[in-house]
Chains A and B, each alone.
Chain A
Amino acid sequence: MRHLLDIADLDRADLEGLLDDADGFVEVLARPIPKVPALRGKTVTTAFFEASTRTRLSFERAAKVLSADTMTFAPGTSSLSKGESLKDTVLTLQAMGSDLLVMRHQAVGAARRAAEWLSIPVVNGGDGAHQHPTQALLDALTVRRRFGSLEGLEMAIVGDIRHSRVARSDLLAFSTLGAHVTLVAPRTLLPVTTEGWPVTVSPSLDEVLPAVDVVYLLRVQTERGGASVFPSLAEYTSRFGMTRERRRRLKPGAVVMHPGPMNRGVEIADEVADDPDALVLEQVSLGVAVRMAVLFRLLGGETDV
C-alpha cells in the first residue's frame, strides 16, 4: 500500500489487516501514557481545502500519538488566495519536509492527482462527493468491534446518497467485508445510477427498519444542495429521520450510526443521538485508532507488496 485514496483499491485482506492493526492501536490509546515512538522524526501534513473538524483533528491526534510531527496547511490564510495552483501548493508542502500528506478537496480525484505529482504517500481525507476512505475504515471498525464481524450483517445507509462521499466509501467497505447494504433514500437523493454497486435500493426506511442490524444515517448536506431537492426538512424527517418511535422498531441489538456533524431533529432525533446504544461518539474515538493504522502502514509498516 503506497497511498490511501479509494476504498475500491483495497481487497478484503487489506481492509481486515488495517482493522486488525487499528485494534492494537485502540489498546495504545487506552494506556496511561498514550504515546508510542513508532513514527518519531516523520512529519505528517494536513491540507484541508474544505471545512473539517473531526477528520483533521483526528489525523493530527493519530500522528501525535505515534510521535510524528504535524504541520497544518490552512488554505484561507495561504498563498492560494494569491492564485497559487494546487500542484505548486502540494509540491511546496512536500519540499517543506512532509513525509505524508493528508488532503481534503472539493474536487473529485484531487487526492489522486496529488499522489501523481508527489513522491510521498497521500491519504485522501475526502474528495468532493467521491471518497472518504478513513471514514469507511472507522465505521467498519466500529461495527466489527460491536458485532465481531461484518459477515452477514444487514446494513442500511439512509439519506443523501447522491452527495455523500461517506456513502460511496462505506458501502464499498461494508460489502467487501461481507455485509449486505441497502441504500434508503428518495429518488432525488440517489445518484443517477447505482448500477454496478453491490447494494439493494429502497425508498422506504419503515420497510427496511425491522430487518437491519445497523442503521447508518447520513447528514442532510445543505452546502451541497441536499436540502433543495426536498420539499422541507420536516418532510425529510417524517420519511427518513431516525425518530424515537422508529428507534423502538429496530430489532434488539441493532445500532444507529452517524458520521457527524449531526443535524439534530432532522436526520436524527436528540433522544436517539444521546442513546447509549448510538455509536456516534465511539465512531469518533475509533477514528483516531484507524488513522494511526493508516499512517503506520504508509510510513512505518509494509512499504510495498
Chain B
Amino acid sequence: MKALLDAADLARAVRRIAHEILERNRGADDLVLVGIHTRGIPLARRLAAALAEAEAPVPVGELDIALYRDDLDRRPVTRVGATRVPVPIDDRVVVLVDDVLYTGRSVRAALDCLADLGRPRRVELAVLVDRGHRELPIRADYVGKNLPTSTLERVSVRLAEVDGEDGVWVGAEQ
C-alpha cells in the first residue's frame, strides 16, 4: 500500500474543509454535520471540532444507511448500527460527511435516510477522498483530496478512533 495522506495532511484537509464550509455558508448558523457510518462519524466529529475552534459549535449526527442500501442481496449486512441526529434537521443546512466518495450509492442511500428524518433547507456533501467512478449523478461540495484511481485499486482511509492511526493509503486489490 502506498501512503497518500499522513496524519498531518489529514488534519490539514479537515481544517481546510471546515473553513470552506464556513465560507460557503457565511458562518455556522443552522448547520448540522451528519456522519455516514462507519468512518464518516469520527470525521464529522473532527470537522465539528475544527468549526468550533474557528467559529461556533455545530451539532453532529450519525447515519447508518444499511437499511437504505440497494445491494442488500449482493452484500449482506452484518449489523444494524444507530442513526442519531440530535436536532431536528427541518430547515437547516445538513453537511453529510463520509470518508471516501466512490460510486455515489452510499450517498444516495444517505439522502433517502435524511428525507425520512425531516426536510433540510439544503444538503451538502463533504468527503475526505474523492476517487471517481461515479454510478449516480452525485458530486461532493467539499473534497479533502481528489484521487484518480483505477477500479482495481483499493483506497483505505484509517482514522485513530476506529483503526488506531490516521492516514490514507492506496494499493492494489488483494
A191 within 8 A of B: no
Query: Between A and B, how many residue pairs show CB distances below 8 Å?
Result: 52
- Distance in Å from the Cβ of B110 to the closest Cβ of chain A? 13
Task: Assess the B77–A32 pair: CB atoms within 8 A.
Answer: no
Q: Which residues of A contact B83 (CB under 8 A)?
A: 24, 27-28
Q: Which residues of B contact A33 (CB under 8 A)?
A: 116-117
B76 within 8 A of A: yes
B8 within 8 A of A: no
Task: Assess the B116–A24 pair: CB atoms within 8 A.
Answer: no
Q: Which residues of A contact B78 (CB under 8 A)?
A: 301-302
From known contacts A36-B67, A36-B68, A300-B72, infer whether A17 and B82 are also in contact, taking CB-CB under 8 Å.
Answer: no
Q: Which residues of B contact A66 (CB under 8 A)?
A: 67
Question: Within the complex, which residue of B66, B76, B81, B112 is in contact with A303, where a contact is CB–CB below 8 Å?
Answer: B76
- Distance in Å from the Cβ of B31 to the closest Cβ of chain A? 21
From known contacts A25-B80, A28-B83, infer whether A38 and B116 are also in contact, taking CB-CB under 8 Å.
Answer: no
Report the bound CA distance from A25 to B66 in whole Å.
12
B64 within 8 A of A: yes
Task: Assess the A300–B76 pair: CB atoms within 8 A.
Answer: yes
Question: Within the complex, which residue of A20, A35, A302 is in contact with B77, where a contact is CB–CB below 8 Å?
Answer: A302
Chain A positions 83 through 121: 1 when the CB is less than 8 Å from some CB of chain B, otherwise 0: 000000000000000000000000000000000000000
What band does the interface of chain A fall in when counting residues whose beta carbon is under 8 Å from B?
20 to 34
What band does the interface of chain B fall in when counting residues whose beta carbon is under 8 Å from A?
10 to 19
Q: Which residues of A contact B134 (CB under 8 A)?
A: none
Q: Which residues of A contact B76 (CB under 8 A)?
A: 300-303
Which residues of chain A in 143-164 are interfacial with respect to chain B, using CB atoms and an 8 Å cutoff? none
Task: Assess the A27–B117 pair: CB atoms within 8 A.
Answer: no
- Distance in Å from the Cβ of A180 to the closest Cβ of chain B? 28
Q: Which residues of B contact A216 (CB under 8 A)?
A: none
- Distance in Å from the Cβ of A156 to the closest Cβ of chain B? 32
Which residues of chain B in 100-145 are interfacial with respect to chain A, using CB atoms and an 8 Å cutoff? 112-113, 116-118
Task: Assess the A24–B64 pair: CB atoms within 8 A.
Answer: yes
B79 within 8 A of A: yes
- Distance in Å from the Cβ of A81 to the closest Cβ of chain B? 38
Q: Which residues of B contact A303 (CB under 8 A)?
A: 76
A82 within 8 A of B: no
Q: Which residue of A lies closest to B69 (CB)?
A: A38
Q: Which residues of A contact B79 (CB under 8 A)?
A: 17, 20-21
Which residues of chain B in 49-96 are interfacial with respect to chain A, using CB atoms and an 8 Å cutoff? 64, 66-68, 72, 76-84
A217 within 8 A of B: no
- Distance in Å from the Cβ of B71 to the closest Cβ of chain A? 11
B76, B80, B112 — which one has the most chain A CB atoms within 10 A of its CB? B80
Task: Assess the B77–A300 pair: CB atoms within 8 A.
Answer: yes
Q: Which residue of B lies closest to A36 (CB)?
A: B67
Can you offer 21 A-B residue contacts whose CB atoms are under 8 A?
A17-B79, A20-B79, A21-B80, A23-B82, A24-B80, A24-B81, A24-B82, A27-B82, A27-B83, A27-B84, A31-B117, A33-B116, A36-B113, A37-B112, A38-B72, A296-B67, A296-B77, A300-B72, A301-B76, A301-B78, A302-B76
Identify 8 new A-B residue pairs, CB closer than 8 A, beyond the known A33-B116, A37-B112, A38-B68.
Answer: A17-B79, A24-B83, A27-B83, A36-B68, A38-B66, A300-B72, A301-B76, A303-B76
